[in-house]
Amino acid sequence: MAHSAHSAAEDRTVADLPAGRLRGAIEGGVAVFRAVPYAAPPVGGLRWRPARPHPGWHGVRDATADGPSAPQMYQEGGDPVLGGHGSPPFDEDCLTLNIWTPAADGARRPVLLWIHGGGFVSGSGSLPGYSGETFARDGDLVVVSINYRIGPLGYLYLGPEGGDGSGPADANHWLTDQLAALRWVRENIAALGGDPDRITVAGQSGGAVSTAALAGHPEAQGLIRRVILQSPPFGLDLPDPEAYLERTAAYLELAGVKDAEELRALPWPALIGAGGGLFARTMRWGYWPTPFLPVIDGTSLLRHPARTLLHGAAADLDVMIGWTREEANFGFALDEGYAAATRDRVTSRIAETFGAEAAPGVYAAYASARPGARPADVLMDLITDELFRVPSVQLAEERAALGRPVWAYQFDLPTPAYEGRLGAAHCLELPFVFDNFDQWSHAPFLAGLAPAVRDGLAHSMHQAWIAFVRTGDPNHPDLPDWQPYDAHARTTMRFDSVVTPLGDPAATSRLLHQSARPDRTSGHAPARLI
C-alpha cells in the first residue's frame, strides 16, 4: 500500500515533456512545476538579442522552487498601493515559466497563459498573487505564468544593427520572449494535461499590451484561441525606431557609456540603475511615467497593439476587455503634489489633448460628472479615460462594427483603503479575478474591504474568467446575463458589490473624446525627454 501511494504521488509530480523530464510538487491539490526554462538564457552575447530556443535538459529537472525574476528596480518595504511588485532574487537568466495543472495526464484541458504587467519595468510571473492554483483547481484548467525581459533589458532599442555590427537585431525583445514561451506551451503543454489547441492568453496593464501584441504577431497565428485584456493602456502613443533613439541616447548618457558596445559590458544592476534616471528624464506633469515602451519597428511589431485585434486572423479571436473605474488613482491619488493641483493647471493639461479653446468646457464636463470633484479628481478621470477606458471602448466599438464583438466590463468596487482616495484603482481587480486574497495580504490597497462583499464579487469574476477560458463566453449560473458589446446596447458588465450589466456606461467619456483634436491618434502623449 505504501509503495502504491508513493507511485500515485510520483505519477502526479513527474512529467515527461518533449523538452525533458520534470519533477514538481503538489500544492493546494494541484501539481505545480516551477522555473521551467522556455528559452536560452539571454546573457552574454544573447543580451539584447531575440529569444533563442532552449535546448532542453537531460535527466529529471527539479521544478519545485521559483527561479529568479527579471532584473528590476526594488524598494525594500514595497509601495503604498500594491506593497511591491517583484522581489529578489533577480537575474538576467530569467526566461522561465511556472505551470499549475490538475494532473500531468492526457486530459487536454483548456490552457490559460498569464502575462504579468508592471509598466514595462516591474513584475514577475512568480508573484504569489499570480498563482494559477485557484484557476487550475476551480476551473480544471492548466495555467502558465511567465517571466520575460522588462525594463532596459527587454525594451531598450539599440538601433537596426543592435549597436554592435554583428547583424540585424529586432526591437521588442520582450515580445520575442513571449513568442518563445507561447511556442514552448504549444509544444509541451499536452504532456502537462493541457490542450495546445485551446490556449487563452491573458494579461493586465503592460501584460495586456503584450497579450494584444502577441495575438497579432504573424508567428502566433493559429496558436491562440482567445484573449483577455485587463486594463490595457492602449492610449499610449508608441514610438517608431527613430523617435525611440532619442531616449536610447539619453539612457546611454545616464549609464555613463558612449555606445552600445560599452553598454553590453555593464552588469545588469548598472543597467537597472540607469533606468531609474530615465524615469526623471521622461516624466511629464499629468502623464503616467513610461521610461521604456514597445517600439513599432515594422518587423517585430507591425502596428500599435490596440489595432492588432482588428486585422487578419487576430480579428477572429474571442476577446474580453475591461478597465477599472478609477484606473489613474493608482498612480496619482496618494501624491500630495497632484492633490494640490489647481483648476488652471488641470485645464492646461486638458488643452494638450483637446486644444485651448475646448479645454474649459471639457473641464466642466468632467467636473459635472463627479459631484464635488476637486481639480485632482478631474485630472485622474481624464488620465483614466485617455490611457485606459476610451481606447478600450474604441476597440470594442470597432470590433462590433466588424461583426466580431467583445465582452466588455468595468470594475467599480472602490477600496476603503486610504479613506477611499484610491477608489476602484488600477490593479484592484486582480485579486478578485484570481480569487486568492490570502496571496495578497501584503497589499495595502485591499485594507478594509468587507469580506462578504469581497468574496461574493470574487466568485462572480473568477467563475466568469473560467467560463471564458473554457468556452469563449463568460456567462455562468451565478452571473446576470452578460451580452457582448455591440453598437446598439453597448453592454458592459459592471463588477461592484452588486454585479449588473449596464448599457454604455462610458457614454460621456466616449462622446467627449470623439471631439478631441483630429491630429491626435490617441489620448495619451508619449513621455518626452526634458
Which domains, and CATH codes, for the chain?
A: 2-76+92-203+215-223+232-239 (3.40.50.1820), 317-514 (3.40.50.1820)
Active site residues per annotation: 205, 327, 426
What span, in angstroms and rounded, lies between the C-alpha atoms of 41 and 121?
A: 19
Please give the pLDDT value at position 88: 94
Please give the pLDDT value at position 367: 96
For the chain, give me the number of helices (H) and strands (E)?
18, 14
What span, in angstroms and rounded, lies between the C-alpha atoms of 465 and 228?
A: 9
Please give the pLDDT value at position 78: 87
What span, in angstroms and rounded, lies between the C-alpha atoms of 241 and 19?
A: 36
What span, in angstroms and rounded, lies between the C-alpha atoms of 33 and 24?
A: 5
What span, in angstroms and rounded, lies between the C-alpha atoms of 213 and 378?
A: 31
How big, in percent rounded to 5, are the helix, strand and coil portions of the chain?
Answer: 40, 15, 45
**Which of 340-361 are b and which e, b meaning 16 or more Cβ less than 10 Å from the residue's Cβ?**
ebeeeebbebbbbbbeeebbee
Q: Which residue's C-alpha cell is 503538489? A: 26
Q: Which residue's C-alpha cell is 462590433? A: 400
Cell of 171: 526591437
What span, in angstroms and rounded, lies between the C-alpha atoms of 370 and 382?
A: 12
**Which of 443-472 are b and which e, b meaning 16 or more Cβ less than 10 Å from the residue's Cβ?**
bbbbeebeeeebeebbbbbbbbbbbbbbeb
CA-nearest of 234, 230, 158 to 386 is 234
**CB 434 within 8 Å of CB 443:** no
- Residue 261 phi, psi (nearest 5): -60, -45
**CB 417 within 8 Å of CB 448:** yes
Please give the pLDDT value at position 175: 97
What span, in angstroms and rounded, lies between the C-alpha atoms of 348 and 185?
A: 48
CA-nearest of 234, 248, 168 to 206 is 234
C-alpha dihedral (248, 253, 259, 264), degrees to nearest 10: -80
What span, in angstroms and rounded, lies between the C-alpha atoms of 328 and 423?
A: 10
What span, in angstroms and rounded, lies between the C-alpha atoms of 332 and 380?
A: 7
Which amino acid, residue 406?
V
**CB 484 within 8 Å of CB 491:** yes
Residue range 502-523, pLDDT digits in tens: 999 999 999 999 877 444 434 4
Q: What is the DSSP string of 475-512?
A: --TTS---PPP-TTT-EEEEESSS-EEEE-TTHHHHHH
The residue count for the chain: 530
Please give the pLDDT value at position 522: 40
Q: Which helix (H) or strand (E) holds 26?
A: strand 25-27
Mean pLDDT, each 10-residue run in order, the chain (530 residues) = 45 91 97 98 95 95 98 91 94 98 96 98 97 98 98 94 55 97 98 98 98 96 97 96 94 96 96 94 94 94 95 95 98 96 98 96 95 96 98 97 96 98 98 98 96 97 98 98 96 98 95 69 41
